[in-house]
Amino acid sequence: MTRFIHTITSIGLALGILTGCGPAAEETTGGRPPMRPTQVVAVTAKVEKVADTLSLIGTVAGEEMVELKSETAGIIEAIHFLEGQKVKKGQLLIELDRTKINAALVETEANLALSKSNNARNEKLLESQLISKQEFDQTRTQFEAQQALVNLRRRQLQDTRITAPFDGTVGERPVSPGQVISPNTTLTWLVALDIVNVEFNVPERFLSVCRTGQTIQVKVAAYPEQTFSGSVFFVAPYVDTELRTTLIKAAVPNPEGLLKPGMFATLDLTLTIRDQAIVIPEPALFRALDGGRAMVYVIDDNNLAQFRTVTVGERKTRKVEITQGLSEGEMVIVEGTQKIGPGSPVKLAPAESAAIYR
């Protein structure tokens, strides 16, 4: 009998537990309490101007750059410039000794005067038929030859004065007064620096979107914090058969003369510009577990976090363009995504927390 009573008691306890009888069961009949919202940092998707750019390397070249040489041999008599000096077009830079050329000019001018007199006299004799046409032609030819020689001597005399062919900055001076020079002797260099050219090569697959008028942003190692802007003025009408690239040149204003010919340059060539692009901070973007889809967390009207698959466009410094999947004004979460999942209630952190993302 005692064993039967214990069995009944055990069955009763088990039924009580299964049916939820007792004070503990009554406390759980209300279900799980609602989840507390997780604080997150979120920003608004904005419309901004976005440019598609192509990063390239190039070389700075002078818009105008010449190696000055003399057209005639001679002795340097005077130098009228300092190395690195800015000069104007037509300014006298170097004078050569003119003694020999002056003497040769005086001689040829005297011979010209004699030939001119003989030509005039023979012209009258020809009219009187006192000389033959052949004799007159010989005299006429001598006169014209002497006239040409005088012009040559005068040009040689002019060539003893070397002037600046354009406004620019003078380079190194490798010669000195009294030095004998030949037409192959380099006297100095002259470079125009107010505007410089940046030359670079673009792979042929990008030629369909390259054209004159496009802008470039240039940086050089000498001034890492400074960016120089310019525009394309030349696209070569051919493709290099070995490199499969096309030469492009852009003019860059250089009023302070900071950019020097020969500098190595890194540049961004602007291909297209979209004025109405959706842009969000890059930290808002993450990849799905499959590693393929780009996704963001969006806060819906009920303050719940929801997954959103997006298509990524151009990437900028700490920003990314979204071409599909987002609209202007939607809130995307940039901090706190590790603590939430789809459908999680969220609340916004103070506005100053999102200041760095704006």
Same domain, 333 and 344: yes
pTM beyond cutoff 0.85: no
| Mutual angle of helices 99-127 and 133-158, in 10-degree steps | 160
As a residue count, the chain comes to 358
Same domain, 332 and 313: yes
Amino acid at 270: T
The token duo for 186 is: 């380099």
The token duo for 84 is: 């690195």
Same domain, 217 and 312: no
Coil/strand/helix, residue 213:
coil
pLDDT tens for each residue of 281-292: 999 988 876 667
Q: What is the C-alpha to C-alpha distance for residues 335 and 351, in angstroms, rounded to an integer? A: 13
User: Has residue 208 been placed in a domain?
Assistant: yes
Nearest to 357 by CA among 328, 326, 325, 320: 320
Q: Which residues of the chain have pLDDT under 50?
A: 1-29
Q: How many domains does the chain have?
A: 4
In the Cβ-directed half-sphere of 167, how many Cα atoms lie within 13 Å? 4
Same domain, 209 and 353: no
Same domain, 83 and 166: yes
Same domain, 166 and 88: yes
CATH number at residue 102: 1.10.287.470
Same domain, 197 and 269: yes
Q: What is the pLDDT of residue 31?
A: 56
| Alpha-carbon torsion (165, 170, 175, 179), positive or negative | positive
302's CB contacts (< 8 A; 6+ apart) are none
User: Has residue 26 been placed in a domain?
Assistant: no
Q: Do 45 and 277 meet the contact criterion of CB atoms below 8 Å apart?
A: no
Same domain, 83 and 113: no
Q: What is the C-alpha to C-alpha distance for residues 93 and 79, in angstroms, rounded to an integer? A: 6
Q: What is the DSSP letter of 237?
A: S
- Could you say which of 150, 184, 218 is where a domain stops? 184
Q: What is the pLDDT of residue 119?
A: 82
Amino acid at 311: T
User: Has residue 8 been placed in a domain?
Assistant: no
User: Has residue 294 been placed in a domain?
Assistant: yes
Determine whether 139 is exposed, middle or buried from the number of CB atoms within 10 Å of its CB (0-12, 13-18, 19+): buried
User: Has residue 202 been placed in a domain?
Assistant: yes
Coil/strand/helix, residue 138:
helix
**Cα 253–255–261 angle (5° rounding)?**
70
Q: Do 150 and 105 meet the contact criterion of CB atoms below 8 Å apart?
A: yes
User: Has residue 116 been placed in a domain?
Assistant: yes
The token duo for 334 is: 């940039």
Same domain, 209 and 270: yes
252's CB contacts (< 8 A; 6+ apart) are 60, 195, 196, 197, 198, 216, 218, 228, 229, 230, 259
Amino acid at 63: E
User: Has residue 17 been placed in a domain?
Assistant: no
Q: What is the C-alpha to C-alpha distance for residues 322 and 337, in angstroms, rounded to an integer? A: 19
Same domain, 91 and 109: no
Q: What is the pLDDT of residue 292?
A: 74
CATH number at residue 197: 2.40.30.170
Nearest to 180 by CA among 104, 96, 98: 96
pLDDT tens for each residue of 233-248: 999 999 999 999 999 9
Same domain, 283 and 349: yes
Q: Print the domain residue range for 82.
A: 71-95+162-184
9's CB contacts (< 8 A; 6+ apart) are none
Q: What is the pLDDT of residue 7?
A: 37
The 3-state DSSP composition of the chain as helix, strand, coil percent (nearest 5) reads 25, 40, 30
Nearest to 170 by CA among 258, 60, 68: 68
Nearest to 103 by CA among 157, 180, 160, 178: 157
Q: What is the pLDDT of residue 355?
A: 85
User: Has residue 32 been placed in a domain?
Assistant: no
- Could you say which of 225, 251, 274 is where a domain stops? 274
Determine whether 282 is exposed, middle or buried from the number of CB atoms within 10 Å of its CB (0-12, 13-18, 19+): middle
Same domain, 143 and 201: no
